[in-house]
Structure 1
Amino acid sequence: MGTDIIELGRDWVTRHRARLSDLLLAGAAGALALQSEWQAGPGRTAAVLAVSVAAILVRRRWPVPALLAVTAAALLTVVLETPSGALLLVLGALMYSTALHTSHRRPWLYALSVSGILFLAGLLVDFDHWWAASSIGLFAWICGGGALGDAVRNRRAYIAEVTERALQAERTREDEARRRVMDERLRIARELHDVVAHHIAVINVQAGAAGHVIARHPEQAGPVLEVIREASDTVLREIKSVISVLREPGETDSTEPSPGLDRVPDLIRNFAATGFRIELRSDGEPRPLPAIADLAAYRIVQESLTNAHRYGRGAAEVTIAWTARAVTIEVLNDIGAARPGRPTGSGFGLLGMRERAAAAHGTVVAGPAPGGRFRVHVTLPATEPAGPPQHDAAADITAEGDQRS
């Protein structure tokens, strides 16, 4: 219990520290006034005591009025040729408070003005007494109080600014960490969608074909089931490679390269195994692409062919054109006729295309084309771009709902 009382006492002192310091300083000023002014009579003693104590108590709230009041009282004692030592000492404390608690950028003006007024008044009243080396102490005391208050104020302002910058930097780091987490989540979600949507679409088509074949020609079901098995194995491997970024530190990094345009022929062969006809054309001399552009190109082709397989009429055309500065990819397929029970896409596949192209400083345009066809047109830079990716209105995707995923 004694410890609790001590802690409560400490808390109370901490909360009222400023007020307690004012009371102690006011008591010291009052005692000084009594000691130095007692010989001058009770009237003057009471006046000096009242002015000194009142100025000390209100110096935080009204620093300039308190300084002016004590300066006026001290000036009166100088004019009466009985300068009050107590008031002159209080002026130093008040000058400290004025420099500390006001927003004036030049507190030395207050110090020079107060000390200069008192010194000039003293010279006019008693030149021999005030024109002496001892008068330098008045300047030193008043100006020293102002300098100390200004130094403390600047120190507090510096600490406050450093603290604010540290807090701002911490908030910025937290915002950056959250942004990176969101970007990583978006990347993983996009990768999973591209990988899973393609292979599950293949499995779905082949499973439907398997049911038909088993019912009428059981002996022909083997190749269809083999395609389903290979597609499921592939999707499991690709999902494992995507989520490998979540592995614990110290685990062995995967050495399998990210897919790129060089794997498009393998992708087309996988589709061909399901009966989906794809014509691949290449124009120009293939060249290495930046990693992010190469991966984006492969995933966009994969997503486009998956959509064509699910919603088209059994065939598609892929054209890859190479130039010195860019690679252009175009995927065309006939739009399939609407039928009851036909699945409708969420649009995330087309959104993923736009995001991938934008991340690689490229553009995507997707939508219906003349002749009842659906067209995906992609342009990606063939060199490393400078600066962060910028959103371009041309990268927006236009789709009328005929073919979405």
Structure 2
Amino acid sequence: MSSSLERYTDRFEQYADRHPRVIDVALAAGLMGSATLGSSITLPGVVPPDHDSAGTVLMGVSCLALLRYRKYPRITVVVITVCTVIAVDLGYLVTPLLLAPVMAALYWLAVFCDRKTTRIYGGTVMVALTAGSVMSSSLGSHSLLLRTIGPIFWLMLPIAVGNMTRLRRAYLAAVQARAEHAERTREEEARLRVTEERMRIARELHDVVAHHLALANAQAGTAAHLARSNPEQSRKILTDLTGTTSSALRELKATLGLLRQNDDPASPSLEPAPGLHCLPDLVAACASAGVAVSVTTEGVPRPLPPGVDLTAFRIVQEALTNVTKHAAAERAHVRLGYADSRLLITVTNDGPAAVAVGANASTAAPGRGFGVMGMHERARSIGGELRAGPRAGGGFEVTTALPLQPLMTAAEGAAGDTGAAGMAEVAGVAAVAGEAGVAVEASDTSTSVEGHKP
């Protein structure tokens, strides 16, 4: 029942908002009839006032003043109260019908004005009409209590209902404002997520394309240089070039497949993201491109969170790509330092200082590339830090510190197995790289994988 009443009330309010003048005229006409009927009611044994025309005029003025309640609610209350007090002093009986214009004015005053204004004007109206009712002769011999309680009750009722209406409108406005704010916030958050995802995809594509194309270009140049003097080595480099291009195609397919993947559980799974376990393949590829890379591990290697593992590999990959593309260097060194809470990565090369600065494409020549910028963004995305710049003695150095998030105890066993499998894979790939001209060195405190320039 209450829901039906609220539905009809909402419909009436919507119609009133669309056609306010029609509602105001209908309200004034209805109150005019009510007040006219009320002015004709008298108590038994009480002589009715002989001012019928005066009462009609006063009630007419009251109802006409009510037409301006939307713009001037305070003035409307004052005018209607004065007219009603005069009517009561003339001897008209104080009834709800006679008080109907005042009650309507008080209701709209409570709706449109604040609580302080409503209390002041409402209290003044009640005092004035109660005093007029006490001094009026229209109630005959009725007690003082009956003369006061009636007007006070009938005048407090519209004030209470008006306050409830004002609070309800304020609540609905607040709910609508919150909904609009939530909608705007949701749209802004969606745009922000789209921007972040676009930047992440751009970094991934840059790392994949720039690295593999740089290696392919270096391998092709080296093979062309050795084609006459060492054809056997040239054929081997061309074989490595095939592997480089195949790896580029695989990573591009994985990246594009991630963009096309939907939430269908039957959709094919994607290949795992690369990590530091792919470092031997990266070293072998650089070796075939003419840059000997040695890898040293300090501390106890441990399983890394997927985000940290991918970031570490991409930073090393980009740094070695810059060495292959820009630096006139024959050797590069990668140092992995496992501390208690951070992974320290240092990539250096032995090129001359003037050329080494060129390895930082975004620093040496702004606008030429986004390699170092992407490394900075990757490090910051997981709470790490990165520095890149020329070394004092020549060459270029990239240093980054990435946070190591603690792994859960329940996963330590599985993580240890994964780490052992990763080390075994590193050893196996290093052995294959040794057959292709890549030397592998090991010691008790560090592991060194060095790719020799062909």
Question: TM-score per shorter chain, which class?
Answer: 0.7 to 0.9
Distance 1:331 1:225, change over 3 A: same
Q: State whether residues 108 and 143 of structure 1, in contact with CA within 8 Å, keep that contact through their aligned partners in structure 2.
A: no
The equivalences for 1:316-395 within 5 A come to 316-335=332-351, 346-384=368-406
Q: Deviations over 1:334-376 (max 9, x none)?
A: 345669xx99663411111111111121100001110122110
Q: Distance in 1 between matches of 2:234 and 2:116?
A: 90
Query: How much has 1:214 moved relative to structure 2?
Result: 4.7
Contact 1:56 1:94 (C-alpha < 8 Å) held by counterparts: yes
Distance 2:218 2:203 in 1: 22
Match of 2:281 among 258, 263, 266: 266
Per-residue deviation, 1:240: 1.5
The size of the alignment, in residue pairs, is 372
Partner of 2:194: helix, strand, or coil? helix
Alignment partner of 2:103: what SS? helix
Q: Does 1:52 align with 2:68?
A: no
Please tell me the residue identity of whatever aligns with 2:149: I
| CA positional deviation for 1:37 | 4.9
Query: How far off its partner does 1:234 sit?
Result: 0.2
Q: Residue 107 of structure 1: SS of its match in structure 2? A: helix
Contact 2:379–2:385 under 8 Å retained in 1? yes
Residues 330 and 351 in structure 2, CA contact (< 8 A), matched pair in contact too: no
**Equivalent residue number for residue 427 of structure 2:** none
1:94 maps onto 2:119 in alignment: no
- Relative to the length of structure 1, the TM-score reads 0.82
Aligned counterpart in structure 2 of residue 242 of structure 1, from 255, 258, 263: 255
Q: 1:285 aligns with which of 297, 300, 306?
A: 300
SS at match of 1:249: coil
C-alpha distance after superposition, 1:161-210 (max 9, x if no partner): 11111111122112112211111111111111111111100111122234
Distance 1:204 1:223 in 2: 15
What is the match of residue 19 of structure 2?
17
By how many angstroms is 1:31 displaced? 3.2
State the SS of the aligned residue for 2:99: helix
Alignment of 1:70 with 2:86, yes or no, is: no
Give SS of 2:303's match.
Answer: coil
Aligned to 2:124: 113
User: 2:318 is matched with which residue?
Assistant: 303
Per-residue CA deviations over 1:24-59 (Å, capped at 9, x if unaligned) read: 111223334445558744651453144212221011
- AA paired with 1:53? C
Q: Distance in 2 between matches of 1:381 and 1:16?
A: 62
Give a deviation string over 1:65-96, Cα, whole Å, max 9, x none: 11112212222333444456565221111111
Supply the AA of the counterpart residue of 2:128.
I
Q: Secondary structure at the match of 2:330?
A: strand
Alignment partner for residue 272 of structure 2, among 249, 257, 279?
Answer: 257
- Aligned-pair distance for 1:15? 6.4
Query: Aligned partners of 2:318, 2:57: CA distance in 1, in Å?
Result: 92
Structure 2 gap segments, 5+ residues each: 1-13, 41-48, 363-367, 408-454
Partner Cα distance (1:282, 1:343) in 2: 25
The equivalent residue for 1:30 is 32
Deviations 1:218-247 (A, max 9, x none): 665422321221111001111122222222
Q: Does the 8 A contact of 1:283 with 1:319 survive in 2?
A: yes
- Secondary structure of the corresponding residue to residue 264 of structure 1: helix
Question: Is residue 29–residue 52 contact of structure 1 (8 Å, CA) maintained in 2?
Answer: no
Deviations 1:242-264 (A, max 9, x none): 22222233253536332222322
Cα distance change on mapping 1:123 and 1:37 into 2, 3 Å: closer
Offset at residue 14 of structure 1 (A): 6.6
From the superposition, tell whether residues 157 and 15 of structure 1 become closer, same or farther in structure 2 (CA, over 3 Å): closer
**Counterpart residue type for residue 20 of structure 2:** A
The amino acid of 2:122's aligned partner reads: A
User: SS where residue 364 of structure 1 aligns?
Assistant: strand
Tell me the amino acid that sits aligned with residue 333 of structure 1: N
- Secondary structure of 1:252's match? coil
Unaligned runs of 5+ in 1: 1-11, 386-405
- When the two chains are superposed, the root-mean-square deviation of aligned CA atoms in Å is 3.0
Is contact 2:349-2:396 (8 Å) kept? yes
**Residue 130 of structure 2 contacts residue 147 of structure 2 at CA under 8 Å; is this kept in 1?**
no
Separation (CA, whole Å) in 2 of partners of 1:271 and 1:52: 96
In structure 2, the residue matched to 1:3 is none
Decide whether the 8 Å contact of 2:257 with 2:270 is kept in 1.
Answer: no
State, as a whole percentage, how many aligned pairs show the same letter.
Answer: 35
Distance 1:100 1:153, change over 3 A: same
- 2:447 is matched with none
TM-score (norm 2): 0.74
Q: Is the 8 A contact 1:241 1:254 kept in 2?
A: no
CA–CA separation in structure 1 for the residues paired with 2:274 and 2:391: 29
> C-alpha distance in 2, partners of 1:199/1:140?
88
Bigger relative contact order (CA 8 A; separation at least 6): 2
The 1:273/1:338 distance shift into structure 2, 3 A limit, reads closer
- The Cα of 1:105 is off from its aligned counterpart by 5.3
